[in-house]
Structure formats: structure tokens, C-alpha cells
Chain A
């Protein structure tokens, strides 16, 4: 490397690549950092928890270390009925989302209100915490912030769980892990496009809709409908159940894979599911030898398919 031109060239190279990284990484970082969370972002981030892809606390993407989203219909302390309120329950040891660990991520306004009024700084992983969205005023504008109900009202995870029935519990955070692990995002995008898509797939996301979400899993190769608002288009858990077990039961032309293996071994009543028998009967049905398709087994309440359907229902 003894030649002068290579010394100049090496410096020019550093300048070119460094300049490129400055423009494409550093400058956008200022923009991204100045974006405040919308309600959508807060709901997504607190529903999904810290991370929904590979991480050391859930290395095999089994839905470990995830919060529960509970629709509270009674005051957990007094037991009195109240207007339905959605809360995010982080039980003991569950990792908090990025916005709690680094409140700066919540963005201007949301950060201040969440820390000062919502007392999110008092949340402790060891004890667990219950969060909910609250409305507050920041510089004259009404915005949502995060309230740590464990600190403000004394609603601990144990107290909240004691009044929650199973139908009030959403495992959407674990369900998003299933969404990532099963590769749903290879065909279904989570990104209605700005130029079209409004009528069928709904409104495209906005700049602040992603704060604290990881991974965003937009998807790039759409071979199937966009799912960002699927829960608004179709809120039937029964339809979802049939469709996941074998999409051809409800849509004969679908090319979606069957996700029957997410049912696990046992159905809702604890019976072992005989997949071979089901498939044999389905083939008879497909070939016209049976009038009705075989019955799809009801999933058990802790099956992976329940988590995934909970996630679908959360995509409003």
C-alpha cells in the first residue's frame, strides 16, 4: 500500500462511506427520535411487551415473558361493576416494554405525562405492574399517556387477575410471537399503502404508530390480504378457527398453509386430537365422498392457536 494514490483513495473511501452513513443513518435518527407515540403505538407496544421475536427470555418464540391484556368489567379492589377498561398486566418477572425501560421512546409529551402523572418510573419488574392508557393535557393539547395503575391505584397484577375471567384475557402479545415465528408476515403485510388500500384494508399507519414496537414486521411481499385492521373487518373467532385449521374449509381457493399443528395435542375438552382421522375425512369430503367436512376441534385455552387468534382480534 505504499502508493500515494491509495492513501488518498482510502481517505476518500472513508469520507464517501462515512458521509453516506451520516445521511442515511444519523440524520433520520433525529427525525425518528422526535416522533411521539400515538394511541395506536401505545396500545401495540403495551399489548406486545418487550419483544416478539428472538430474545434471550423467549429464545424459541414460544410466547414466554409476555403481558396479558385484560378487559376489566369490575373494580378489582371493591368488586363493583364498572365501565369496561382495558389494562395491560405485567406479572412478576415479565419484562416491561421499551417505553417503560426508556421513557424517552414514548416521545415528547407522552413521556412527561407518563412519568409525572402516570408514575411509570415506579414500576418494578420483580413485583409486576398493571398499566393502562389515560388522557391528559400537555401544552394545551389532549394526548394519551401511560398510567401505572399499580402505583396510582394499588391494582397489583394478582388483584387484577383475581377478577378477570378467561374470556376477558387476550394473549395478543404471545400471539404476535406466533405471527413472527410462523412466518405469517411472509405473505400478509401489516402496512396498508398510502396511495391505495384504504377501501379494503383500511387506513395506512402514521408516523407515530410504531414507537416501542419490535419487530415491526411490515412484510414486503404481499401474497395475501393486509392484516393491519383485520380484526375490524372480521371479528368472528369461529371463522378464524376454521380458517387456521384448514383455510380451504372457508375459502376453497386459498393458498394459505394449514396451521392445524398450532392446536397442540389436546382440544378444549382435553381429548387427544386425531389429526390423521381428520385429514382422512377431509380428503373424503374434498373428493365428494362426504357431504360435510369433519368437525374442527375446539382449541384449548392455552394453545398457540388461541394466542394467534387473540392477536388477530387485536388488529383493529
Chain B
């Protein structure tokens, strides 16, 4: 890939940048989940690797979080945008060269930011932990080039309308730049106190709500119709989904601080808007599941469909939790407990990761024109991810309920730590399964590029029988 960085744009083979983004994302997924597994081991066994600040939990936790959010999830999004946006516009990507440079800048900037975080150089603000220099780099050299490439591809499309997926892509790349520049204002201009606390969670909420959730959903709007051959059930429900994301998902930031001394009107407003997140959620899930009509056998037979539908099904508990856990009636019990950690993993490792994995599986096979090297490894990857995630989610949810009970009955904290110990071990085992699955995935995709069965022009990967 790197040899094309200085080539003329027209000499770069179509899809090169998508392949670069795709493989980068898988490598970051391996790194990110490896760090997650290591961190979980430290929570279960605190003297596992000790005495060195670079392996201290407080130095590594944020590296895991940012490696998976900005490495795995966001680069998988970039990969999807590089091949899906032009495909839906019946055109080529506006600039393969920009795409390649964008991915390079992304890898360099993210590596630099993670090294700084690892060393403890942090803004002290959760999810916007990167120092403001890196935040500016992310906005200007990572988000803006992606935004330009997606927008120019949409503008130069050769279709009359714009398909649902591309509404979400185009608006999300724009919104993530806005969110980065606005959410980090406390760092750029040294805003302090409650303004800083509130903007921290304004950023954290919106980077999930206006970037990760809509782009992941947009990917499903492409993969399901593309692989099943069914048209999208309803364009109009897609409209409802899109507009309710913009209106309802951008407003409940304060519900992350329900027990902090924010103005009460702000908390109440955020809480009501938070329940209304169910509108886009229900629209999305029903639209995708109804698109599957008549093709449910592919849920069993086809790997990409299985990944996508599993992710979409996980959106149901995700949004039921998300809509209601932030109301005062429930939040007082579970706020700040492992329940929230479980919920965050349900969003990122459950819902979102499964949709992106499908996009990376499908995209790499289509661009490389090679069928997946090993279906068995693909299946093992799916089950390791699903069982590993489920183990994690169930154990952390239980741990969270224990913590909640300990909190309201004011049990001595150490008794809560003792009660949680078995679930910390279970969480570590679950996380390690996910990591193991991803190592196999990286091998499988590498071998696909090398030795996968060649797919003839005009055929989809799943139309070919496996030879292996």
C-alpha cells in the first residue's frame, strides 16, 4: 500500500485505500482487545505484572479504550466508507490517494496519541483523554480528510438520489469533526469547573451518538440488502431513523452526570431525550429485520449476515438499557458500577463491532476479489467473539448489580471487591476469548489476500462454493 502514497491518483488500483483501512483496523482490533484482556487480568489478579508504571492499570486502561474506538471501530468505519460510498454512488472513490494518506495519518496520529496516553500524558477527561494537540490533529488530519473524501464522492455520484447509508456517512463525518472541535473547547481555551465536566460528557456522549452508532447502523443498511439481495424494507423508516438520530441522540449528554450537581432542568431534559433514543433504535432494528424477510436462512448460512444480524439483535437490549438506565428511577442504582461497563461493551463490542466486522469481511473479499480463506476460522472467530462478549457482559452486569446493592446499602467497599472477584475472572476469560478470535481473524484475512479462491468478475463472494 505504501508504494502508492506517492503514485498518481489514477495509477492507484481501485479499493487500495479500503484494503489499507481494513487491515489497519484489524491490527488495531488485535492490539486493543489484547490490551483489554491484559487490563482485565490486572483487575482479577492485581499483582499480575507489577512495579512498572507502563504496565500499571491506570496507564493502560485509556490506551485500550482509545485503541478500540479510534483504531478498530473508526478505521473499520473508514474502510466501509472507502468502498461503500462509491459503490452506492455508482462511481469511484473521489481520491484513492487521499484515502491512503488519510489512513497513514490516522495510524501515525493514533500511535502517537496512544504512546502519550500510555506515558500518562492525559487531559484527565474521560473519552477526550488525548492532550489537545492530539485532539486538533485528530480533527484536522484524521476527520477532515475523511469528510472531504466522503463528501466529494457523494457529490460526484452518478445516481439520482442518495441512499440511506450515504446520508449517515456524510453527516457523521461532518458531525464527528464538530464534536471533536466543540467537545475539546475546555482544553483549547482552558474552560474550567462544571463547564469542563459537562463538556467532557457532551463529547463522550456525542462521539458515540453522532459517530459510532449512526455509522455502524449505516453499514447494516448496506450489507443486509447487498448480501441478501432484498431491497431495504422502507426508505421512509430510514428517514425516521436518520432525523431522530440527529435530534434525539445529540441532546441527552447531561444524563451521564445524573448524580452530579448540574442544573436540574438540564438533567430532566437530558433524561427525557435519552428515552427518545428508542425512536431511532426501534426504527433501525425493525427496518433491518424486515429487510431479512424470506432470507432468514442466510442468518445461519452466511457469515456476514450472521455477524450483521447478531449486531442488530444486540441493539435491542442495548437501547432498552440505554433508554432507561439513565432515568433517575434506575440511574441511582447502577450509576458508576460495572453495569455501565457492561453496557459500554454491549454498544462497542456487541452491537457496533459485529456490524463492522461484517463490513470488513465483506469488503475485503469483494475488493481483493478473493473468497474468505477459511470459513471454519471465520466461524470460530464469530463464536469466540459472541461467547467471549456474552461472558463479559453477563459477568460485568452481575458485578454491577452487586456494586449497586453495595452502594445503596453502604456495604464496606472491600466486601464489594471480594464479592466481585469471580466476575472479574470471568470478564478476563471473556475478553481473552475475544482477543484470541481476533488473532485468528487477522491470520484468516491475511491468508485470504494471499490464497483465497479468486472470485470471477460480477459475482458476490457468497455465490461461490468453498473449495477448502
Question: CA separation between A96 and B205, bound complex, in Å?
Answer: 32
Question: CA separation between A278 and B160, bound complex, in Å?
Answer: 73
Q: Are B50 and A197 in contact (CB under 8 A)?
A: no
Which residues of chain B (104-158) have a CB below 8 Å from chain A? 119-126, 131-132, 155
In the complex, A32 has a CB within 8 A of chain B: yes
B128 to chain A, nearest CB (A): 10
Question: CA separation between A141 and B198, bound complex, in Å?
Answer: 29
In the complex, B341 has a CB within 8 A of chain A: yes
Question: CA separation between A55 and B131, bound complex, in Å?
Answer: 8
Q: Are B175 and A191 in contact (CB under 8 A)?
A: no
Residues of A with C-beta under 8 A to B186: 214-215
* Contact A196-B182, Cβ < 8 Å, known A60-B119, A182-B58: no
Residues of B with C-beta under 8 A to A186: 57-58, 61-62
Q: Are A222 and B57 in contact (CB under 8 A)?
A: no
Residues of B with C-beta under 8 A to A196: 332, 407-408, 410
In the complex, B403 has a CB within 8 A of chain A: yes
Q: Are A25 and B261 in contact (CB under 8 A)?
A: no
In the complex, A217 has a CB within 8 A of chain B: yes
In the complex, B466 has a CB within 8 A of chain A: no
Smallest Cβ-Cβ distance to B328: which chain A residue:
A195
In the complex, A257 has a CB within 8 A of chain B: yes
A-side interface size class: 35 or more
Q: Are B53 and A183 in contact (CB under 8 A)?
A: no
Q: Are A194 and B126 in contact (CB under 8 A)?
A: no
Smallest Cβ-Cβ distance to A223: which chain B residue:
B43
Pick the contact of A53 from B125, B250, B269 — CB < 8 Å? B125
Smallest Cβ-Cβ distance to B204: which chain A residue:
A220
Q: Are B42 and A257 in contact (CB under 8 A)?
A: yes
Which residues of chain A (150-191) have a CB below 8 Å from chain B? 180-187, 189, 191
Q: Are B340 and A220 in contact (CB under 8 A)?
A: yes
Residues of A with C-beta under 8 A to B421: 255
Pick the contact of A59 from B56, B121, B336, B412 — CB < 8 Å? B121
B-side interface size class: 35 or more
Kindly supply a per-residue 1/0 record for chain A positions 224-253, scoring 1 wherever the CB is within 8 Å of any chain B CB and 0 otherwise. 110000000000000000000001100101
In the complex, A204 has a CB within 8 A of chain B: yes
User: Which of A73-81, A113-121, A205-213 contacts its partner?
Assistant: A205-213
Q: Are B122 and A61 in contact (CB under 8 A)?
A: yes
Q: Are B261 and A204 in contact (CB under 8 A)?
A: yes
Question: CA separation between A3 and B155, bound complex, in Å?
Answer: 11
Residues of B with C-beta under 8 A to A260: 51
Question: CA separation between A21 and B210, bound complex, in Å?
Answer: 13
Q: Are B414 and A251 in contact (CB under 8 A)?
A: yes
In the complex, A256 has a CB within 8 A of chain B: yes
User: Chain B contact residues: over half helix, strand or loop, or mixed?
Assistant: helix
Q: Are B171 and A13 in contact (CB under 8 A)?
A: yes
Kindly supply a per-residue 1/0 record for chain B positions 228-264, scoring 1 wherever the CB is within 8 Å of any chain A CB and 0 otherwise. 0000000000000001001100110110110111110
* Contact A24-B251, Cβ < 8 Å, known A51-B190, A186-B57, A220-B340: yes
User: Chain A contact residues: over half helix, strand or loop, or mixed?
Assistant: loop
Smallest Cβ-Cβ distance to B331: which chain A residue:
A195
Question: CA separation between A216 and B340, bound complex, in Å?
Answer: 20
A132 to chain B, nearest CB (A): 21
B412 to chain A, nearest CB (A): 8
Q: Are A32 and B155 in contact (CB under 8 A)?
A: no
In the complex, A261 has a CB within 8 A of chain B: yes
Smallest Cβ-Cβ distance to B126: which chain A residue:
A220
Q: Which of B52, B162, B193 has the most CB of A within 10 A?
A: B193
* Contact A211-B192, Cβ < 8 Å, known A54-B132, A217-B124, A253-B418: yes
In the complex, A20 has a CB within 8 A of chain B: yes
Smallest Cβ-Cβ distance to B337: which chain A residue:
A222
Kindly supply a per-residue 1/0 record for chain B positions 29-59, scoring 1 wherever the CB is within 8 Å of any chain A CB and 0 otherwise. 0000000000000111011001111001111
Which residues of chain B (396-446) have a CB below 8 Å from chain A? 403, 407-408, 410, 412-414, 417-418, 421, 424
Question: CA separation between A37 and B263, bound complex, in Å?
Answer: 15
Q: Are A193 and B162 in contact (CB under 8 A)?
A: no
Q: Are B131 and A54 in contact (CB under 8 A)?
A: yes
Q: Are B250 and A216 in contact (CB under 8 A)?
A: no
* Contact A256-B46, Cβ < 8 Å, known A32-B198, A182-B58, A220-B256: yes
In the complex, A85 has a CB within 8 A of chain B: no
Q: Are A216 and B251 in contact (CB under 8 A)?
A: no
Smallest Cβ-Cβ distance to B414: which chain A residue:
A253
Residues of B with C-beta under 8 A to A214: 186, 190-193, 196
Question: CA separation between A255 and B48, bound complex, in Å?
Answer: 11
Question: CA separation between A299 and B383, bound complex, in Å?
Answer: 51
Q: Are A191 and B131 in contact (CB under 8 A)?
A: no
A231 to chain B, nearest CB (A): 17
Q: Are B193 and A105 in contact (CB under 8 A)?
A: yes
14 interchain pairs, CB-CB under 8 A: A3-B160, A20-B250, A24-B251, A28-B262, A98-B190, A181-B121, A186-B62, A213-B193, A215-B200, A219-B126, A248-B47, A256-B46, A257-B42, A275-B51
Given contacts A17-B175, A182-B58, 8 further A-B contacts (CB under 8 A): A24-B251, A186-B62, A210-B194, A218-B257, A220-B340, A222-B336, A255-B417, A279-B51
The 3 A-B residue pairs with the shortest CB-CB distance in the complex, in nearest-first order: A183-B58, A53-B124, A215-B124
